[in-house]
Structures are given as C-alpha cells and as structure tokens.
C-alpha cells in the first residue's frame, strides 16, 4: 500500500507560528488526540502529522470496507485527512477526536457510494482479507487446520461478508464501526447522529438479522 502524501497549505500557519509554543517530539506523547488537534488548530503542524500516522491505516481499512476498492479507499482516506486539516480552525473538543474523524470518513464513503451507485452484490468483497501492510486478518485460522476446516471457515466468512453488506446502510455502517473499528455505542451514535440508546437498538437489530441469516454457519 502506498503512503498518503498530503499537500496542505502553510500560509496561515506561517503567520501564526510566532504565537505558538513549539513542542518537542516527546511532548506529544502525553496529549490526547483532542488536545493534539487543538494544537493543530493553533498552528502546530507536527500534531497533524502525528494524527495521520496514528489513524492512516484504520481509516484506509474502514474506507476499504465501505467502498470495496483499495485505490479508492486510499483516495478517500487522503480526502478525509485533508478535510480534517481544512476544518482545523472550527474544531472543538466536544467529543472524542475519533468520533469527529469517523464522521468525516463516513460522510465521504456514503457520498461516494451514492454518487457512483455502487453495486455491492456484484463485487467480490472481502471484509476480512489480509491487511496489505501486515498480511494479518481478523480471526485468523489455525495454521494447522485441515483442508476441510479451512473450507468450512472460508464458506462461513464468505457468508458473513455477504450478509453484512446486505444490511441496510445505517446498520451496515454501525456494524463495521463496532466490529471492525472498535468504536463504542456512544462514538457510533455521534458519528451517525443517533442517541446512544438508538445506536444500541440499531446494532441489536443488525446483529439479530445476522444471527438469523447466518444460523447455519455459526
């Protein structure tokens, strides 16, 4: 996977540089993501680079599972970080940084899917395919498993992928954020603009549907 090369404007920060207390590399370690983003808002571009390094891979993986195309996932991830940078002056640490970040990413992915009228069922999609950088997958099968066991597992994972992608859009996004990105109910609700209880209900319905449709595989 190629690296994300982001070209960002420097002029506004250059004007502010004299008013910002510059931080050393070690100083960033004790800050939360929100605090780092606030520093970015105030002119510390080094903090922006730190956030890219931390969230580049998760956002690309999230985008891939949304748009099912590696090249487009990287482009949308790049656009996500560019929008983060362009929106730095209006950033407020009212929620977790990841909530704000995934809201931007989700909006981009949904708009892309709608604009391109993506046909999910026609694609060979692998939600759990090996990561291009690490070669690892979620729920990796035991390397000593028999051929029969591997075939059963492959059939099961294929069924799971197909049924997750067949969920209604909002349920699908919630499951992807919950299962694959590790976001909690509150964060998912903030991304989707739902209450925490509505998010729990949304995920309950999604997992209930999956349990029913996958009862022969799990």
135-138 own/partner pairs: CB under 8 Å, 24+ apart: 138/180
pLDDT < 50 regions, the chain:
1-5, 7, 9-21, 118-145
Largest Cα separation within the chain, whole Å, is 66
Give pLDDT, residue 16: 42
Give pLDDT, residue 202: 92
Give pLDDT, residue 11: 38
Q: What are phi and psi of 20, to 5 degrees?
A: -105, 135
Q: Identify the three-state secondary structure at position 29.
A: helix
Question: In 1-82, at which residue ranges do the beta strands (DSSP E only) sit?
Answer: none
Domain 18-118, architecture per CATH? Orthogonal Bundle (1.10)
Give pLDDT, residue 26: 58
Give pLDDT, residue 170: 87
Query: Is the Cα torsion angle 28, 29, 31, 32 positive or negative in sign?
Result: positive
| Rg over CA atoms, the chain | 20
Q: Does the pTM exceed 0.75?
A: no
Give pLDDT, residue 8: 52
Give pLDDT, residue 123: 42
Domain 145-218 has CATH 1.10.10.10: yes
Where along the chain do the CATH 1.10.10.10 domains lie?
Answer: 145-218
Where along the chain do the CATH 1.10.1740.10 domains lie?
Answer: 18-118
The DSSP letter of residue 126 is: -
First-residue to last-residue Cα distance in the chain = 33
The DSSP letter of residue 176 is: I
Angle formed by the axes of helices 97-116 and 185-192, to 10°? 50
Give pLDDT, residue 81: 95
């Amino acid at each position: 996977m190629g690296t994300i090369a982001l070209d960002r404007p420097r002029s506004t920060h250059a004007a502010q540089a004299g008013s910002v207390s510059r931080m050393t590399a070690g100083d960033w370690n004790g800050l939360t993501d929100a605090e780092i983003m606030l520093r970015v808002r105030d002119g510390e571009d080094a903090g922006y680079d730190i956030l890219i390094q931390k969230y580049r891979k998760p956002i690309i993986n999230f985008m891939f599972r949304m748009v099912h195309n590696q090249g487009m996932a990287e482009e949308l991830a790049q656009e996500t970080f560019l929008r983060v940078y362009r929106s730095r002056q209006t950033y407020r640490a009212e929620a977790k940084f990841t909530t704000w970040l995934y809201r931007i990413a989700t909006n981009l992915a949904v708009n892309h899917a709608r604009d391109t009228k993506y046909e999910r069922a026609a694609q060979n999609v692998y939600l759990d395919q090996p990561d291009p950088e690490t070669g690892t997958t979620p729920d990796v099968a035991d390397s000593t498993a028999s051929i029969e066991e591997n075939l059963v597992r492959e059939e099961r994972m294929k069924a799971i992928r197909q049924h997750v992608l067949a969920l209604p859009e909002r349920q699908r996004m919630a499951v992807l954020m919950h299962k694959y990105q590790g976001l909690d109910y509150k964060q998912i609700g903030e991304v989707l603009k739902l209450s925490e209880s509505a998010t729990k209900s949304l995920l309950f319905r999604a997992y209930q549907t999956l349990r029913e449709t996958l009862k022969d595989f799990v």
